[in-house]
Amino acid sequence: MNLFEPSAGRDTAFARLIETPRRYVTTAHFRLTLIFAVAFSLSVAVLFGVIYWTAGSALRKQAGETVMRDVALLRDVYKHQGEKELALEIESRSQPSMRADLYYRLQSVSKGLIAGNFPEAPAVLGWSIVERPLPESLRGEDKPPSAREGYSVFLYGVRLSGDLRLWVGYDNHPIFEAQEAIVRAFIWAFAVTIVLALTGGMFLSWRFLKRIDDINRTLKSINALRLNDRFTVRGSGDELDRLALNLNAMLERIQHLMDGMRQVSSDVAHDLKTPLSRLRQRLEAAQRDAKTAADYDAAIQGALDDADGILTVFATLLRIAQIEAGGRRLALGAVDLSTVCSAIADAYAAVAEDKNRDLTCTIDSEVAIRGDRDMMMQALVNLLENALNYSPPGGRVHIALRKEEKAVSLCVFDDGPGIPPDERDNVFRRFYRLERSRSTPGSGLGLAIVKAVSDLHGARIVFKDDDERGFGVCIRFQGDGFPPLAGMAG
Is 184's pLDDT higher than 80?
yes
Higher pLDDT, 113 or 329: 113
The DSSP result for 233-276, as a single string, is --SS-SHHHHHHHHHHHHHHHHHHHHHHHHHHHHHHHHHTHHHH
CA distance 228 to 216: 15
Q: How confident is the model at residue 321 (pLDDT cuts 50, 70, 90)?
A: low
**Which of 26-35, 305-314, 472-481 is the most confident on average?**
472-481
Residue 10 CA, chain-centre distance (Å), reads 41
The whole-number pLDDT of residue 13 equals: 46
Is 105's pLDDT higher than 80?
yes
Q: How confident is the model at residue 433 (pLDDT cuts 50, 70, 90)?
A: low
List the domains of the chain with CATH numbers.
28-134+145-185 (3.30.450.20), 262-325 (1.10.287), 333-478 (3.30.565.10)
The whole-number pLDDT of residue 20 equals: 54
Is 421's pLDDT higher than 80?
no
Choose the weakest-confidence range: 74-78, 284-288, 354-358: 284-288
358-363 vs 396-403, strand pairing mode: parallel
Is 100's pLDDT higher than 80?
no
pTM: 0.45
Close Cβ partners of 31 (under 8 Å, ≥ 6 residues apart): none
Give the side-chain half-sphere CA count within 13 A for 369: 28
Residue 335 CA, chain-centre distance (Å), reads 39
Is 16's pLDDT higher than 50?
no
Choose the weakest-confidence range: 64-78, 380-394, 418-432: 418-432
Q: What is the mean pLDDT of residues 204-218?
A: 77
Choose the weakest-confidence range: 202-211, 234-243, 312-321, 443-452: 312-321
Q: What is the mean pLDDT of residues 293-321?
A: 73
CA distance 323 to 191: 65
What is the DSSP secondary structure assignment for residue 392, as one 8-state letter? Answer: P
Is 115's pLDDT higher than 50?
yes
The whole-number pLDDT of residue 330 equals: 57
The whole-number pLDDT of residue 484 equals: 47
Q: How confident is the model at residue 114 (pLDDT cuts 50, 70, 90)?
A: confident
Q: How confident is the model at residue 481 (pLDDT cuts 50, 70, 90)?
A: very low
The whole-number pLDDT of residue 264 equals: 62
Is 6's pLDDT higher than 60?
no
Work out the mean pLDDT of the chain and round it to a whole number.
Answer: 75
